[in-house]
Amino acid sequence: MAKVTFNTDMCKGCGLCVDACPKNCLAIADDKLNQKGYSPAYMQYEEKCIGCAFCATMCPDCIITVEK
C-alpha cells in the first residue's frame, strides 16, 4: 500500500496530478480553500493507489511526497 502526502497549503489546484493518476485516486476539493485561496488536490481513494508517483512527476509545485 502506498501513501501520498500533499503539502496542501502550497497547492494551486491546477489538477495536473488528478489527470496524471492512472487509477483515478485523486480529486480537487472544490468545497475547500487553502492558505493561497485555491481548492487543493487530495487523495480520494487511498486504497486504489499503487504508488507510481505519476502525480508527483506532473506536479508543477513539488508538493507531493510518495511513499511505498
Partner 1 sequence: MAVVFEKPKSLTDAPFHYCPGCPHGIIHRLVAEVIDELGIEGKAIGVAPVGCAVMAYDYFTCDMIEAPHGRAPAVATGIKRCRPDNVVFTYQGDGDLASIGMAETVHSAARNENITVIFVNNAIYGMTGGQMAPTSLPGQVTQTSPYGRDVKHCGWPIRVSEMLATLEGPEYVARVAVNNVKNVKNAKKAIKRAFENQIEGKGFSLVEVVSACPTNWGMTPKAALEWVESDMLPYYPIGVYKDRSAGEGK
Angle at 48 between CA 3 and CA 60, to 5 degrees: 55
Query: Is residue 23 a contact point for partner 1 (CB under 8 A)?
Result: no
Using rule CB under 8 A, residue 62 touches partner 1: yes
CB distance 25 to 48 below 8 Å = yes
Backbone angles phi, psi at 42, to 5 degrees: -150, 165
| 38 sits near partner 1 (criterion: CB under 8 A) | yes
- Position 41: which residue type? A
Of these, 14, 29, 44, 48, which contacts partner 1 (CB under 8 A)? 14
Summarize as ranges the residues that interact with partner 1 (CB under 8 A): 2-3, 10, 12-16, 19-20, 38, 51, 53-54, 56-62, 64-68
